[in-house]
Chain A
Amino acid sequence: MNRFLSKDFLSGVMFIAFGLTALYFGRNLAVGTTVRMGPGYVPHMLSYIMLVLGLIIAVLALYNGGDTVEAPKWKPITMVTIGIIAFGLLLETTGMFPALVALVFIASLGGDEFKLWEVLGNIVVLTFLCILVFKVGLSMNIAVINGVW
């Protein structure tokens, strides 16, 4: 078993990475004194705590071993993420309907069964629902298709 691939070791590395990132981007914030704390006082404190905790977790993990991280399945997380990003990009430029089609279609590709007819049916039902809830019900100000409705 590879100790560097244990859940705990990788978590430790993640915490260290967050600590370093916060320290780097917070380097220009004034720390101030304990009486009059500057905007950087608490961020610096938290960054160092993150670093120390991350280090302890990582070192302990190398010492003790622990569960190996499961190999992630790339398809669901990738498709879901791409689907939402596509929705965000399309919503204001083309309208709700194209964005909806893109999201439902891409996200459905992430599941282990993909039947075109089912997805199309799903799109029809969801379009109807969204117009009803968001356009009619909550009277949100978004176009269904830009320039058309």
Chain B
Amino acid sequence: MDMLHNLTLGFSVALSFQNLLYALVGCMVGTLIGVLPGIGPVATIAMLLPITFHLPPTAALIMLAGIYYGAQYGGSTTSILVNLPGEASSVVTCIDGYQMARKGRAGAALTISALGSFFAGTVGTIIIVLFAEPLTQMAQKFGPADYCSLMALGLVAAIVLANGSVLKAIAMVFLGLLFGLVGTDVNTGAQRFTFDIPELSDGIDFAPIAMGLFGIAEIVVNLEKKMSRSGAIKVTSLWPTREETRRSIPAVLRGTILGAILGVLPGGGPTLGAFSAYTLEKKISKRPQEFGKGAVEGVAAPESANNAAAQTSFIPMLTLGIPSNAVMALMVGAMIIQGIQPGPEVMTKKPDLFWGMIASMWIGNLMLVIINLPMIGMWVKLLTVPYRFLSPAILLFCAIGAYSLQNSTFHVQQVAMFGVLGYIFVRLGCEGAPFLLGLVLGPQMEEYFRRAMLLSRGDPMVFLQRPISLGLLITTTVLLILMALPNLRKAREEAFQEEEG
């Protein structure tokens, strides 16, 4: 049994003291930032990238993964108790979760959301185990042209799901690709856009860009808003009633399936999963009038969906090396910092890292149930810390972290510069996620593009002659055409409006 062997290996890695510790740290940090409104997993992972540089690769990735799915748990707490979404993926949970809390069912809502998330996390992990190997084997048949097309598909899908203008998102992808070119050209050794700055000859480091664009810009935007803090609702009993349990179980199942599917899609992820699950529940429910007034399904389904999606969104990143959303792009960045080239080889060359990380996801989910339920009081207390204490602390952590990458203050100044750029992006309504995906995929994509063209003696038809590449390009084109259709464009805009409102 290959799978059993792999899982044994994974658990033996994940259960080592060091990895358990980092999984716990990741889950704690994830819950913390999940609970605090105004700071999300993307910003946090971006800011912690330099720290991971000092850790062994497996521990680093286990910790970052823990932050990502931990935030899905923590976010629901704030949604239910304070009616503020701790995370974008918990926005819908506010609707019925807070209403349940007002009726004195806060404890039940928290328990259902934590146990639903745990179930979804477990299923998500099993799906990763089942699909990782066949997908990796398929990916090993890919030639340079196929990879290039696959990346194009990943980038286009990211655009479809980006919020706001499609054209601007496309331009952001290309801008990201352009920034990815900075440094020494691998084939000829020519210096490109380095402006004679020696620090730039290895390319712009990923960490300062991510920290500036997501971390600093997010802090500045939060400083501009006045954060209102309302009191949290007291939690009494954690136990749901029999009726509540009976109604949640099918909702959890549907949410898990829907979330798991949407998580795998490039550009998908927890937020999309949660919104779709809520809409689905409302549509098929026999009591649609209860939604918005504290329907237990409205908590169970989206909370399971966001966690299932958080797990399955690892699949394209782990097997193909293609990140499907901003967090996965950061994970790819973390792997590159550690000297690991993400892609199908990770599984064969570093099985301990690959399976250890997957096993740790399940362990992390188990930890999160414990962190979140009995310790709920502690997290609620944290909500009373004012933002004016947090923001300088986060900035400081960022600045020292950037310096520690290579003991160079140049990196600190880069963070400041990209912070300004990130702020401009926010003000102009340009999404950061497509930029980040372009940046991460840029160097590889150029490499594959040039290699494919060299092999075909400059004939661009190679992209259409290879069946895999052709299939991927057709899918890409279909996606682009669908986006241009007026009906679909309207539906897409409506979906995002619901999300913002």
Contact = CB atoms under 8 A, between A and B. Distances in A.
Interface of A: 7-8, 10-11, 14-15, 18, 22, 25-26, 29-30, 33-43, 46-47, 49-50, 53-54, 56-57, 60, 67, 69-70, 72-73, 76-77, 80-81, 83-85, 87-89, 91-92, 96, 99-100, 103-104, 107-108, 110-113, 118-119, 122, 126, 129-130, 134, 138, 140-142
Contact of B54 (A35, A67, A104, A138): A138
Contacts of B181: 42-43, 46
A10 B423 contact: no
Contacts of A89: 409
Contacts of A7: 427-429
Contacts of A81: 416, 419-420
Given A53-B171, A81-B420, A84-B416, A10 B428 contact: yes
Nearest to B413: A88
A83 B424 contact: no
Given A72-B423, A84-B398, 6 more contacts: A14-B430, A35-B457, A57-B171, A77-B423, A84-B415, A118-B389
Main secondary structure on B side of the interface with A? helix
Nearest to B422: A77
A34 B393 contact: no
Interface residues of B, number: 61
28 contacts: A14-B428, A15-B171, A22-B193, A25-B195, A34-B458, A37-B187, A38-B188, A42-B450, A43-B178, A46-B174, A53-B171, A60-B167, A72-B427, A77-B420, A83-B392, A85-B413, A88-B399, A88-B412, A107-B395, A110-B220, A110-B223, A110-B391, A111-B391, A119-B392, A126-B396, A141-B407, A142-B403, A142-B407
A96 B278 CA distance: 49
B404 A122 contact: no
Interface of B: 51, 54, 165, 167-168, 170-171, 174-175, 177-178, 181, 185, 187-188, 190, 192-193, 195, 216, 219-220, 223-224, 226, 387-389, 391-393, 395-396, 398-400, 403-404, 407, 409-410, 412-413, 415-416, 419-420, 423-424, 427-430, 446, 449-450, 453-454, 457-458, 460
Contacts of B416: 81, 84-85, 88
B428 A26 contact: no
A46 B178 contact: yes
A103 B178 contact: no
Contacts of B453: 34-35, 37
Sorted nearest first, the 7 A-B pairs with minimum C-beta distance are A88-B412, A35-B458, A34-B458, A39-B190, A76-B223, A39-B185, A84-B416
A84 B391 contact: no
A14 B430 CA distance: 11
Nearest to B211: A84
Contact of A39 (B187, B393, B400, B413): B187
Name the residue among A67, A81, A129 with the largest chain B CB count within 10 angstroms.
Answer: A81
A88 B409 contact: yes
A91 B409 contact: yes
A123 B176 CA distance: 37
Main secondary structure on A side of the interface with B? helix
Contacts of B175: 15, 18, 50
Contact of B223 (A29, A80, A100): A80
A80 B192 contact: no
Nearest to B421: A14
Contacts of B407: 141-142
B388 A113 contact: yes
A14 B424 contact: yes
Contacts of A70: 427
Name the residue among A50, A84, A119 with the largest chain B CB count within 10 angstroms.
Answer: A84
A37 to B, nearest CB: 5
A80 B423 CA distance: 11
A83 B450 contact: no
B171 A50 contact: yes
Contacts of B403: 88, 91, 142
A143 to B, nearest CB: 12
A11 to B, nearest CB: 5
Contact of B393 (A22, A54, A122): A122
A88 B211 CA distance: 15
A90 to B, nearest CB: 9
Contacts of A80: 216, 219-220, 223, 395, 419
A55 B380 CA distance: 49
Contact of A108 (B177, B392, B409, B427): B392
Contact of B167 (A25, A47, A56): A56
A76 B224 CA distance: 7
A57 B175 CA distance: 14
Nearest to B165: A8
B247 to A, nearest CB: 42
B483 to A, nearest CB: 15
A89 B190 CA distance: 31
A11 B428 contact: yes
